[in-house]
Structure 1
């Protein structure tokens, strides 16, 4: 089979993968493989910004407090301390590379989002992720020490039989379907999340949980999968993708109103529209049920429309594209799946339970998000822990010199699956998760979803040979694990809410749920 080889094999081209590649080039050759185009990632879709305590009236300690509060008792305090103290320097590295964040004169134009007590969100209009992705891609593409292979889909991670060390990955050409092997002295997985688990999602089509599922099959530990963050405000129009309407719009003063025109968030939380995302999402669902509507309104009619248009040009343009007049100041919105707090369990340097395998970004669970991610911390996490993963991996290579033995591969054992209706299968999985393992859950509903997911897993082939089949297998696996975790956790905490166990239970459930084959 054709192959690729490097000291550092990085899988994924979002902020975590690209920043890791940028750092790793100082220590050896780097091969970055990515599923479709390098631009296709959640990073490129990120609107609101990146959080960092850089203002004179702010501090890393306040940022830490806000993060721990949002995490509902399940954050790793030391990991959060690393995030908030190392974060400002990492953000300034982006600035030094040429990333252009908005300014007011000589000062940074800082935004504020839910559960942040201070303005600490650096942004580039409402396309912050796109600006960061362009900057990192430019730097990585211009450096001869970094090789970028696009259209290269992760199928499985490969381990040395005797030591269990991760040696590389089996990948598939996204167009031809041909298999190949990419080798690395260390492997850094940065494939992003699994937002496509849900029928309504703000995530791009590539977010099918490939890295999480491949790591699980390889024997790595996954943790906290029951904690799924639903963004409160995605565009809610029939037949239209769930385009994200940034939380920063509420940070600039927009209100949420039900279809009767009533502002409702002050009745749910003292921070009103800037309450944590799980609180706002459940409040919106409750209001929709009360009124029989499938949406509420994001109301900024009391704000200067020209100022809103300048601050959020992409949102304004998208609303116009779908026939809305944003000048009227009301946008129909509803929650949608947005971010997976759980993932591959890592230490504070991105190391996993498999030697030589690292993970960073949304695919990982570093301990910084706990049960509910604080807004705009995810881009920061990708920078901080992408860099830390490289430093730890460099030391791992130094301690483990030589060429490990690549295992024999049985590609022919993969099951031909071209006749399987994978679109129908994944559609059913996504509907089950939305309806029964979504924003408001019940034990009865989760159990029903779990039973059907187990039947689907029995009915369809393992080790499929097509890209759609591998994606389908990945989604079925992660849906099954997520439902199991949600059924086990008999309490409500952060992004996990059980209607039959509506209270937080620190006595019994101040702990993590881990799955490992």
Structure 2
């Protein structure tokens, strides 16, 4: 048997979104970095982020106001100290982005001084969203990727799919474990390889692809959450899966998002007859937090027996729409829809995982030298509902805080072992159609039973199906060769189980978790924590 190929590095970063790229650039002056991506380096949720980054740059706004809005939208279960930590460090992280060459949209004020053009989104009391028209994520990703690819200390490996973390007992802390690397599936050469590292950073994103309808790219399969759980990390708040209200409803499109900034600039949500409905649900109308908007849309669609609602910004001038939303305008035209003239059919779709791997304010997990940053992590920032455009902010701040912590503690890092072989070498190939069938079945179960509205009996029904799928996956994984689809299915089944278990443990309706058996929320509540 051939020996497994092994790579060695100081720091391994799994994931190529804004959090992973930012951490790589901050650390590369000090260490050798390997950054792996399970697809092309730009294929990640960050790349498709349209809206922007929330931060205080309006003279009428304040850090205190941003903190208050975040706590209110999070419905009393955000970690206040973390909210204060992230928002208080937001401006310097935005400044770091500017230093990397990212250009946010600007405007001129009354005394002709250049300043950021800020838009407003759901839950925000002020305009505080910095953006690059309607493709902010693409702009940031592209600039950071160019810097990463040019850096002599960063080695990018595309089409490398992480399988499992490699951990061992350590004497750094009593009864603790330390991460020393990961097994990876080299998609191009269809072989298992090993990457050994002194530090490992999970920046793998969320798990919204557990659902039939999602705004996320196909890579959002909860890999980091599943791997960290299998390695022994705690997770929290996975019942809070955010559904974005305005995903395009069109037979030729399955995940195209219409940014919340449209509503921030005055777009209306309407029924098929052209009447607005949000005024009947919340005083903030279309700019209510996402949990409220999605529940209102779901209720209206069920009441009327229709498949979608409509987003309408046609009352704004054509020039205004094309200037502020050029990407969305162009994309909709491909489907025969004109944003300047038509009401656009929209439906809610799974968008963001508010829970994840439990970390402290430096991104440190329960396992020594293992960090988690971005959507994969539970920091306590989002609570029961993420406020719009706070996600990229969290990515940037935790890329900074984790990097600073690593730089300041490297003298305590032990060296890595030089030998290790993969433990599962199989010969038989599995029929990929079987995997796809199980994957579609899983997504349908999660959409029907762990969706916008839930019941205890429905969740238990879903959990029974998940447990049966887990048994099948165990057999597949034990008997057959590895494939990317098998790895995705394995991780999605694991994260689905964790989501449902969290949902069953939260016996209240709060934010993104709306369960008919418990329609009200407790006066006092906290995170839902699962321990391996």
Global fold match (TM > 0.5): yes
Aligned residues of 2:234 and 2:531 also touching (Cα < 8 A)? yes
Structure-1 separation of matches of 2:464 and 2:426: 28
* 1:515 alignment counterpart: 530
In the alignment, the residues of structure 2 paired with residue 325 and residue 400 of structure 1 have an alpha-carbon distance, to the nearest angstrom, of 57
Equivalent of 1:380 in 374, 393, 401:
393
Residue 300 of structure 1, CA deviation = 1.1
**2: CA distance between counterparts of 1:70 and 1:435?**
26
* SS of equivalent residue, structure 1 residue 362: helix
Q: Mind listing any 5+ residue stretches in structure 1 that lack a counterpart?
A: none
CA distance in 1, matches of 2:387, 2:419: 41
The CA distance in 1 between the partners of 2:382 and 2:517, in whole Å, is: 25
Q: 2:12: which partner in 1?
A: 9
Equivalent residue for 2:507?
A: 490
Aligned to 2:486: 469
CA distance in 2, matches of 1:194, 1:322: 28
Aligned residues: 515
Superposed structure 1 runs of 4+ greater than 4 Å apart: 404-408, 413-416
1:347 paired to 2:360 = yes
Does the CA-based 8 Å contact 2:269-2:286 persist in structure 1? yes
Q: Deviations over 1:135-189 (max 9, x none)?
A: 1111111110111111111111111245520011111112332111111111000
Query: Given the alignment of the two structures, is residue 46 of structure 1 paired with residue 49 of structure 2, yes or no?
Result: yes
Q: Does 1:179 find its partner at 2:208?
A: no
- Residues 72-131 of structure 1, C-alpha deviation per residue, up to 9 Å, x if partnerless? 111111111111111111011111111111111312110100000010001101000000
- Aligned positions of 1:131-146 closer than 5 A: 131-146=139-154
- Offset of 1:416 from its aligned partner? 5.4
- What is the alpha-carbon distance in structure 1 between the residues aligned to residue 420 and residue 403 of structure 2? 25
Match of 2:516 among 478, 488, 499: 499
Shift of 1:239: 4.1
CA-CA distance at 1:292 after TM superposition: 1.0
SS of the residue 2:97 aligns to = helix
Alignment of 1:198-347 (within 5 A): 198-347=211-360
Pair 1:159 & 2:167 matched: yes
SS of 2:233 mapped into structure 1: coil
Please name the residue that 2:174 is paired with. none
**Who is 2:111 aligned against?**
none
Give 1:415 shift: 8.2
Contact 1:112 1:248 in 2 (8 A): yes
Deviations 1:31-54 (A, max 9, x none): 111111000000000000011112
Question: Cα gap change, 1:259/1:140 in structure 2, threshold over 3 Å: closer, same or farther?
Answer: same
2:157 aligned residue:
149
C-alpha RMSD of matched pairs (Å): 1.6
CA distance in 2, matches of 1:70, 1:177: 45
Residue number in structure 2 paired with 1:103:
106
In structure 2, the partner of 1:35 is: 38
Does structure 1 residue 118 correspond to structure 2 residue 126? yes
How far apart are 1:362 and its partner, in Å? 0.3
| Further displaced range: 169-178 or 343-352 | 169-178
Choose which of 138, 163, 182 in structure 2 pairs with 1:169.
182
TM-score by length of structure 1 reads 0.97
1:265 shift after superposition = 0.5
Q: Determine the C-alpha separation between the residues in 1 that align with 2:138 and 2:297.
A: 29
Q: CA deviation at 1:407?
A: 5.5
Assess if the C-alpha contact under 8 Å between 2:271 and 2:309 holds in 1.
yes
In structure 2, list runs of 5 or more residues that go unmatched. 109-113, 172-176
SS at match of 1:159: strand
Contact 2:432-2:485 at 8 Å conserved across structures: no
Cα distance change of structure 1 residues 459 and 420 upon mapping to structure 2, 3 Å threshold: farther
